[in-house]
């Protein structure tokens, strides 16, 4: 896909296919279909994130995300994700008011919502779309998408943000390919031991996830020329940020256990 992303325009775009996390009703943004729409402040700003226990991150975010979450690689494409929960459908970092604590990083994948780029197969371009079902999208907006048929500054800023996200997504794919070509990935498993209120083991260990991670041993064993190649590509810092991020596993498990303990009386 070599053509540049498209800015909001008239209709004619083919229906979208596929699913992306969070997006329930993505539609190509156009003044004809969305001229009266925009966004408004809502009381539950990150409510849509509440059921996502893992969120994709780009390689440029590793340093920031590593301070808060384990970063792991998942699936056949070994997509890097920030782990925000240990149970499917449960995010441990979204509070009852739909907010993420100020001292925890919010990935760009989340911050771009309700916008997303989608492929228009007819023109081989990326088209800006909006999730029409997003709670902040309104027909009584505080900030409109269009004025006099033209994108507002807010919409143009959204286009630029999504363009940058797409560039970083492609850079991340290149980073993962580099790691794969150098055979730096290894499979890992993380589990935890349930304990009672007195700290005594209860039942069997519970597996949280199977995932891929960079092998520090393989990284350190790279020939000098291959290590320099990684360094010159700016990849070494991201590799070590990922390795450091894995130290967050105990923290996120403890956070999950605190949540479960708080839920226990209500379940009785």
Indicate if 64 and 197 belong to the same structural domain.
Answer: yes
Distance CA(109)–CA(48), nearest Å, equals 12
Domain membership flag for residue 100: no
Indicate if 120 and 21 belong to the same structural domain.
Answer: yes
**Structural domain for 218, as ranges:** 52-95+182-262
The string of pLDDT tens digits covering residues 178-205 is 999 999 999 999 987 776 767 777 777 7
The answer to whether the predicted template modeling score (pTM) of the entire model surpasses 0.75 is: yes
Indicate if 58 and 37 belong to the same structural domain.
Answer: no
The answer, yes or no, to whether the previous bond of 114 is cis (omega within 30 of 0) is yes
Q: Provide Rg for the chain, Cα atoms.
A: 21
Distance CA(82)–CA(146), nearest Å, equals 34
Domain membership flag for residue 101: no
Indicate if 255 and 135 belong to the same structural domain.
Answer: no
Indicate if 124 and 195 belong to the same structural domain.
Answer: no
Total number of domains in the chain: 2
Q: Cα–Cα distances in Å, from 256 out to 18, 88, 135, 178, 246?
A: 31, 12, 27, 34, 16
pLDDT at 10 over 50: no
The string of pLDDT tens digits covering residues 143-187 is 999 999 999 999 999 999 999 999 999 999 999 999 999 999 999
Q: How many CB atoms lie within 10 A of CB 265?
A: 7
Indicate if 192 and 82 belong to the same structural domain.
Answer: yes
Distance CA(104)–CA(93), nearest Å, equals 8
């Amino acid at each position: 896909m070599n053509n540049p992303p498209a800015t909001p325009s008239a209709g004619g775009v083919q229906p979208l296919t596929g699913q992306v996390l969070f997006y329930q009703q993505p539609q190509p943004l156009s003044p004809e279909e969305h001229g009266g729409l925009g966004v408004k402040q809502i009381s539950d700003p990150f409510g849509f994130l509440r059921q996502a226990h893992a969120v994709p991150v780009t390689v440029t975010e590793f340093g920031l995300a590593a301070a808060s979450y384990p970063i792991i690689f998942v699936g056949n494409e070994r997509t890097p994700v920030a782990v925000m929960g240990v149970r499917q459908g449960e995010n441990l970092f979204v509070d009852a008011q739909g907010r993420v604590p100020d001292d925890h990083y919010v990935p760009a994948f989340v911050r771009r919502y309700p916008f997303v780029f989608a492929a228009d197969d007819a023109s081989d371009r990326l088209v800006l779309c909006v999730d029409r079902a997003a709670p902040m999208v309104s027909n009584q907006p505080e900030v409109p998408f269009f004025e006099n048929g033209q994108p507002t500054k807010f919409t143009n800023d959204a286009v630029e943000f999504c363009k940058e996200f797409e560039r970083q997504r492609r850079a991340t794919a290149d980073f993962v390919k580099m790691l794969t070509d150098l055979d730096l990935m290894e499979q890992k498993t993380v589990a935890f031991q349930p304990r009672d209120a007195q700290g005594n083991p209860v039942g069997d260990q519970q597996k949280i996830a199977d995932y891929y991670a960079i092998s520090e041993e393989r990284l350190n064993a790279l020939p000098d020329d291959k290590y320099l190649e990684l360094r010159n590509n700016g990849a070494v810092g991201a590799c070590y940020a990922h390795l450091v991020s894995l130290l967050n596993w105990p923290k996120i498990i403890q956070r999950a256990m605190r949540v479960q303990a708080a839920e226990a009386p209500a379940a009785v």
